[in-house]
Structure 1
Amino acid sequence: MFDSPLSASAYDVLGVDPAADEETLRKAYRLRLRQTHPDTGGDAAVFIQVQRAWELVGTAEARTAYDRGHGFGDAPAAEWSGWRSTPRPADTRPRAKSFGQPGGWRRERYLDLIREWVGRGVAVEDPYDPVLVRRAPRELRRMLADALAEEATARVVADLGIGYTVWHDVAAPVRGGTGDDKLDHIVLSPSGLYAVLSEDFGGPVTVRRGELTGDVVPGTPVADLLARVRSISRSAGVRFGGVIVVLPDEDLLQPVTDLGRTRGIPVVLVARGALSNLLRQGVPGARSIGGNEIFDVRTRLQQAVRFV
């Protein structure tokens, strides 16, 4: 929480200026607790955000670390690299077989847009500087947030081991699309074949009639995802067993939500912390595959998949 480029800062959640003194900060925290407490009609998700915000800035030591990492005050933010693309530490454990670059398209797009936004001829020393990112338009921050979300999901899948194969940033053109339509991840597992969407909307999300809703949710992400799934199904000649939408843990009140079936395909919404168990156990009601069919599906996807 609060490490997403889209998230409100701890100060925004508490409703105070970043330069507020300790007493003002404490009063704001107590007020926000009363305003958001579920027992008095408040929103449970926002109530949790208020508590987390206080953990980050409620003590002098924690506040100094938070300000340094997020570009508030006079403290330099150079020590913090949470939004930069960093190499994964060496790991000798067997890992899932992976193709494509998770988050790669969105990172490249973000870098192009942030330089364009700053202005031609102006050098951008660090496109991930917290101060620069915080000031950027929401569409730029959303691009970076989604890249980070895709990278986080890829790490979860990679840790599942050699029984899994995953394709990232798969081109999935649809009629009337934007020209950059893609599936974030296709995961072939012992429990089934899944299309996975990694998102970060920067706030709590709710569900209505099988679709994601909320002030921070643009368009119809589930319907768009299913259209891309149908595109890949046709081009590769495969049947997906389920569709998974992955969101940050703090944006959901429960780890797994069944969104129902669309054209026979079960769709689930899952917090990233629960994704590993879901993929191991399988999406409830999903079509399982095994034996020679796994090899056939892998071959078909390898021949048909194109990357954005």
Structure 2
Amino acid sequence: MSEPDFYAVLQVAPQADAQSLRAAYRRRARQTHPDQGGSAEEFHQVQLAWETLGTPEKRAAYDRSRDVPRATDDDAGASGIYSRSFTASTSGAASARGQNGTDSRRRGTSRSPQADQPPRYEPPLSNPEPLSLTLTSQKVHGEFAARGLFGSRSQRVQQHTAALLEKHVLGQLPAARLFNDVLLDPVETDRRGRRRTPRGDQRAEHVLLCGQTLVLVASFEVPADAVSWDGRALRARGKTIPLPNLSAAVRRLRGTLKETARAAGDAPALQTHTQVILHSPDGDLFHPVVESRGVPSGAAPLPAGRALSLITETLAASAQANMVDRHLMTALRDQLATPDVD
């Protein structure tokens, strides 16, 4: 299949300057988003177009390959057509490795046909163990314990992220499950059967499970229209925003889940991924824009709209995307910092 005309996808002239291109991308992303009546394929094409045209080097190479005339300084304005480099990973198209990712997600990841099939339960629902039918069918597990009268800012961001994940990821994947506020290390019980919180109390904000694919998610609100990412640090308005070491966190959680599975006589072949979601204070799902400097765009934290698409596509790519693993669900429920009850 021939490559689409990325300028036509964004409905912008080949001579458009960087500011006009960015505005066109934002407009087309809203128009083609499935929640606004668009299709997943249209939305994906818009992301592909922006990944290429939003990066000066990639845009120059694309223009050369298509013999597109480049804008003059007058056309581009005082800042120049290639004055700023804004990139964002395409959905399911990134290779992410480093502080915030331990996985490799290859370009062109396709949605498995199983992702849209009715859930298949393992063990079957005819077996009452290891999890009740009610909890097996429940898509969201765990909540964030209240902190103060009105809750903290971080807690509000976490709750907002959980709502977006429920709507945009669980809504598209019948077998996906979301676990909030998950302890990374094994939870033990005392002689009276009371839970003992692990020493250090290290937690994952959100864990998504679909089949045997797991995505660990953290989120932040960034009061800036654009941020830069160099593979190690996220910067906004001259300040560094500290990010958690999600690669270490997902390794710890994976070890805990495998230890629990072995004790239950199970051996899941877990595929683990991580994602940092960036929120804009005004709720714009496609801001802040991430300027990725000298690293693959997939290594960057992403604005909510891009991150949700990537997470969905990552979970949907598995040949087991319609499987609800009740053993893994049970293991994750055992790690909830604030467990709910049947």
Q: Give TM-score, length-normalised by structure 2.
A: 0.41
Higher relative contact order (CA 8 A, sep 6+): 2
Between Structure 1 and Structure 2, the one with more helix by share is 1
